[in-house]
Structure 1
């Protein structure tokens, strides 16, 4: 079968920011086969603010958006999209549809700033990275604080603008706060099942069920420490997908690889047998062994398309 993949999370803008800062371009076009290959035809490209850049997060994010947009426009095989109809057209023409996101709300200093980012193309907001920001606490904070008052306002504004709320990285108190103040579907773009791998970045059964009850989607992540503590392999990655499908249904599970092998800070060994995009055919083969064509198409693309259609339009 022919499949296309919608990847719910990628840090490629970080690489583009670094490479274009050194005068290299076009980064994506030069690395097309490496980063996208024959399968990835839609992807959330999120700007992550590293801890050392938090003191000038807004400036960094704006620079990263500009450099990424410039890089995309220098290549003929990409399109920055802000609507599902634009994504569908790009995929139909065998181009890669890229959605702009922020991984962590550090640059969001006010609701006006959030609206400005929306005007620049932002359609996905991961509320926190793993540390505390002005919106709420990340999973590695010890205070167990939920959303701040400002965080509640941000969620409401994102709902009004049509920005997908991403609950990966936020702590449990903030997770439940977010669901309490929005009625929209949400996603956890790159998280696995905590029942299979006890890591704070993974989700409990109760969290997984809550996302499904909102008609949301969880993107299975291919970060080794989120897959298995002893020996992260492709088979164990697929086990997370299968577990979540059994628990919450195939309509609520997607893919959020978070491949970071190309970043200096996070480079290293990946999931055995699923280290990068070139291994997607092996993943598809494993999924076909467990699920029918309808389920595989839903997991690889259609579930995220449905979510974005509901929230973004």
Structure 2
């Protein structure tokens, strides 16, 4: 059993009008998902920044509709996960789907829009994408500011509603602001910066802060977050898992593939079925308890919304 905390299937369904059931242009479609060991998949609402501000929330709602109409409703054995009890209640033959938000730019400065998305089922909220918004600066913003006053209001709401605050894509200052304010933290798809010096990866200070906060971290399959090389393989992904463990993050670790959010692939991890190979090799390198925790149990243990 594997839980994957991040993919961008909804963006492709919305932008490219693809068929979730069979489209070969998806790294995760219904058929590939069923052939993989992934039992629970998180589906991110990500509205591209080129969408006009006045249309962004509408686009987010359209992605929510696609989530239910294309992923949940057609299949009796794919269950909408709203809380930890839903996770624990999944039967052996069932799979789970969780709704997340990647970037609060879609809510502008209107907290009620975020409340609406939470009511619709969003269970993890990435405060930014790479750019700045009303909540905080993203990792690509030159000024590198932290959380705004409105951002503090957003985090307070997430704490109250028992929703994960996701720090992937957040500015460095914003990351540490979140560590001081959020009760439930995750980095849904970020790798180890000491292995690959990319701005989206976590340095040792950030990793330790997430450990101290009892947070959750998803190893991601973005090749340029994994190794600065022309060819990147699943062995390089394993290096990030082992590095996180060596830094003390074994009880915080999991996976956040970013499938369908990337146009270059790691060799052996071209789509969700690649988890079979990754699983086989990791189980040779980890203890059974470590694998059990990293594959799914850490995510379940830390899932903030109990019921």
Q: Structure 2 length normalisation: TM-score?
A: 0.92
- Cα 1:130–1:312 shift into 2, 3 Å: farther
Structure-2 separation of matches of 1:57 and 1:277: 28
Q: Which ranges of 4 or more aligned residues in structure 1 deviate by more than 3 Å?
A: 28-31, 310-313
8 Å CA contact retained: 2:36, 2:275: no
SS of alignment partner, residue 288 of structure 1: helix
What is residue 38 of structure 1 aligned with on the other side?
36
1:259, distance to aligned residue in structure 2 (A): 1.2
- Secondary structure of the corresponding residue to residue 124 of structure 2: strand
Q: Any conservation in 1 of the 2:104–2:128 contact (CA below 8 Å)?
A: yes
What CA distance in whole angstroms lies between the structure 1 residues aligned with 2:184 and 2:88? 20
Secondary structure of the residue aligned to 1:74 is coil
Deviation at 1:275, TM superposition (A): 1.8
Aligned to 1:101: 100
Q: What residue is the counterpart of 2:291 in the other structure?
A: 296
Partner of 2:171: 171
Does the 8 A contact of 1:125 with 1:164 survive in 2? yes
- Contact 1:41–1:94 at 8 Å: present in 2 too? no
Structure 2 runs not aligned, ≥5 long? 24-28
> Which stretch shows the higher mean deviation, 200-209 or 63-72?
63-72
Q: TM-score, normalised by structure 1?
A: 0.90
Q: Of residues 288, 294, 307 in structure 1, which corresponds to 2:302?
A: 307
Question: In 2, Cα distance between the equivalents of 1:28 and 1:148?
Answer: 41
From the superposition, tell whether residues 93 and 64 of structure 1 become closer, same or farther in structure 2 (CA, over 3 Å).
Answer: same
Equivalent residue, structure 2, for 1:11: 8
Aligned-pair CA distance for 1:218? 0.8
Structure 2 matches for 1:157-306, cutoff 5 A? Answer: 157-182=157-182, 184-230=183-229, 231-260=231-260, 266-267=262-263, 269-306=264-301
List gaps (5 residues or longer) in structure 1.
none
1:52 match: 50
Tell me if structure 2 keeps the 8 A contact 1:251–1:298.
yes
Aligned residue for 2:165, secondary structure, equals strand
Residues 281 and 33 (structure 1 numbering): CA distance in 2 closer, same or farther, change over 3 Å? same
**Which one has a larger percent helix, Structure 1 or Structure 2?**
1
1:84 Cα deviation after fit: 1.3
1:117-128 equivalences under 5 Å are 117-128=117-128
Provide closer, same or farther for how the CA distance between residues 172 and 54 of structure 1 changes in structure 2, counting only shifts above 3 A: farther
Cα distance change, pair 66–258 in 1 and its aligned pair in 2 (3 A):
same
- The separation in 2 between residues aligned to 1:208 and 1:155, in whole angstroms, is 20
Distance 2:15 2:47 in 1: 12
| 1:43/1:98 contact within 8 Å kept | yes
Deviation at 1:311, TM superposition (A): 4.5
Change (3 A) 1:53 1:193: same
| In 1, Cα distance between equivalents of 2:283 and 2:258 | 22
Give the direction of change, closer, same or farther, for the CA distance of 1:201–1:225 in structure 2 (3 Å limit).
Answer: same
Aligned pairs for 1:83-162 (under 5 A) are 83-90=83-90, 92-109=91-108, 110-162=110-162
1:49 and 1:75, CA in 2 relative to 1: closer, same or farther beyond 3 A?
same
**Worse overlay, 237-246 or 81-90:** 81-90
Aligned partners of 2:34, 2:205: CA distance in 1, in Å?
33
Query: In 1, Cα distance between the equivalents of 2:216 and 2:121?
Result: 22
